[in-house]
Amino acid sequence: MAEHLSQSELDYPFKLLEYFNGFRISKVSEEEMLKFMGLMNSTWVIDGHDIVTAFDLSSFKTVIDLGGCSGALARELAKEYPSSTVTVLDLPAVVQTAQRHFAQQDDTICFQEGDFFEGEIPPADLYILARIIHDWKEDKNLKLLKKIHTACHPGGGVLIAEALLFENRRGPTMVQMFSLNMLVQTEGKEHPPSHYTRLLTDAGFRDVQVCRTGKSYDAILALK
């Protein structure tokens, strides 16, 4: 799909990232926000099923998708695990836009306004961080993961969805391109699995598992 997009279209999500996930979202017009959220929504409509089925998540009965945007990935999880209660926690402007433009009749998920960096993180069995960690520097990510670990129920965990580099960082080519964009447009970059394993272990998590899905994004699960 990427080869049919212009460079400006490929760059667009990265140019807006500075306004999302804790940045200056108040300066984004609703039109810009809708375009960004539409791109994120399409991503998880295409790749979401592979993320939520990479591991058996049936034991996690309360799930919070932190920075879950339109709710597309959360809906994929709710569809696969109907006995779980799934909530999207995101900034107020994002939640309000999602409810106006992306809500579904008889929706299977809930939305909650909040700031997972500055505010409280509600307790849950499982937290999802999908395309969040790659936005930020390591110290900020470690602080966030420690905060999640504290809020997480015993036996719970965190599911991370990111594009993973090879351990030697020499591929995949598309992930290298993602990483270059992230370096230019945000504080973060893409990483190999060992980086996430170390970060999660330092935050107090254990039993880190990695699944390369064969699609654009891969999955990492760690337990408390």
Q: Which of 134, 149, 191, 195 is catalytic?
A: 134
Contacts of 173 (CB under 8 A, 6+ apart): none
Distance CA 215, CA 192 (A): 16
Single-letter amino acid code for the residue at 14: F
Which position has the token pair 């409810």? 99
Q: What does each C-alpha distance from 204 to 5, 77, 148, 207, 222 come to in angstroms?
A: 41, 25, 10, 10, 10
For the question of residue 49 being annotated catalytic, the response is no
Closest C-alpha among 93, 102, 122 to residue 28: 93
Q: Please give the positions annotated as active site.
A: 134
